[in-house]
Amino acid sequence: MHTRVFRPGAGFAAGAAVLIIQTVSVFAQTPTPARIPREADGKPNLTGLWQTISTADWDILDHASQAGPFYQLGAIGAEPPGQSIVEGNEIPYLPAALEQKKKNYANRYKEDPVIKCYMPGVPRSTYVPFPFQIVEGQKDIIIAYEFASDNRLINMGKPEEAVTDTWMGTSNGHWEGDTLVVDVTGFNGMAWLDRAGDFTSDSLHVVERYTMVDANTLKYEATITDPQTFSRPWKITLPLYRHREEGARLLEFKCVEYTEQLIYGPILSGESKH
């Protein structure tokens, strides 16, 4: 594993300070009924097209910029710098899990499940660099993701147990005041949290919180518990922004066909995997 040292320059530090102030300012606002669209029953109306502007999909911790795997792409193939979305900028890995994380990082350009067009899982689906749409129905809530044309149902009725383990888990939601709380279990343990190799097991339990800061900003929080991988629960927080451009909608991104050479290349060319 290559050591990644984060040494922002003065220009970056100044820009980061402004970003921190702006983000804190947004989250520090007290939502008011006038600023938050609501359903007929008074609950916040989260329906809309949302997206993060963070670089958390590359790495959920603080990270400096670095070259990507294909030098032929020059600057557009490089990995951008970014600030941590993890509370305390620390993931409490158990020793064996930390070693696996290092292995994942070393092989990230081939082993990251998202590179193979597998579902990103929860919470990663929220901060991959693609929009997603929340639709509040009369009973349940649906989230449709542009990446891999994935979707997810949040059951707002009597909680249901997972029938089987899946990439996205089983979601049960309820309202706590103006915050949508989603309890997610039943994961298959195959998803990563980012391109840096951070991962979880099939004992993962995620509790998400969606809170409207204003009509066009959501505060997203996710508490992650996984006793097979981490020594304690930990939390991520990031803002999500509503797409407001005219005609904004989800577009089609069926990425399976783009992964064929990566996954089946050696077979198709008659080469051995070993």
Single out the residue of 118, 61, 100, 88 nearest to residue 200, CA to CA.
100
Q: Is residue 178 part of a domain?
A: yes
Q: Is residue 273 part of a domain?
A: no
Lowest mean pLDDT of 44-48, 139-143, 229-233, 252-256, name the range.
252-256
Single out the residue of 59, 253, 52 nearest to residue 145, CA to CA.
253
The DSSP string of 39-92 is -TTS-B---EEEE--S-TTT-SS-B--B--S-GGGGGGGSBPPB---BGGG---
Question: Rounded CA gap, 185 and 223, in Å?
Answer: 12
CA 32 to chain CA centroid, nearest Å: 27
DSSP state of 26: H
The mean pLDDT of 49-56, rounded to a whole number, is 97
Query: pLDDT digits over 73-107, tens only?
Result: 889 889 999 999 999 999 999 999 999 999 999 99
Q: Is residue 7 part of a domain?
A: no
Q: Is residue 229 part of a domain?
A: yes
Q: What is the pTM of this model?
A: 0.85
Residue 106's DSSP bridge partners are none
- Output the pLDDT for position 21: 45
Query: pLDDT digits over 117-137, tens only?
Result: 999 999 999 999 999 999 999
Q: Is residue 1 part of a domain?
A: no
The mean pLDDT of 2-28, rounded to a whole number, is 47
Phi first, then psi, for residue 154 (nearest 5°) are -105, 110
Is the bond preceding residue 123 a cis peptide, omega within 30 degrees?
A: yes
Q: Which domain holds residue 148?
A: 38-245+254-268
- Output the pLDDT for position 262: 80
User: What's the pLDDT band for 31 if we cut at 50, 70, 90?
Assistant: low
Q: What is the mean pLDDT of the chain?
A: 88
User: What's the pLDDT band for 139 if we cut at 50, 70, 90?
Assistant: very high
Report long-range pairs for 1-5 (Cβ below 8 Å, ≥24 apart): 1/102, 1/105, 1/106, 4/63, 4/64, 4/66, 5/64
- Output the pLDDT for position 32: 55
Give me the number of domains the chain comprises: 1
Q: Is residue 159 part of a domain?
A: yes
Q: Is residue 70 part of a domain?
A: yes
- Output the pLDDT for position 72: 80
- Output the pLDDT for position 271: 57
- Output the pLDDT for position 52: 97
Single out the residue of 242, 179, 219 nearest to residue 44, CA to CA.
179
Question: Rounded CA gap, 271 and 97, in Å?
Answer: 33
Q: Is residue 21 part of a domain?
A: no
Single out the residue of 192, 132, 183 nearest to residue 160, CA to CA.
183
SS3 179: strand
CA atoms within 13 A on the CB side of 30: 0
Q: What is the CATH number of the domain that holds 192?
A: 2.40.128.20
141 near 46, Cβ under 8 Å? yes
User: What's the pLDDT band for 28 if we cut at 50, 70, 90?
Assistant: low
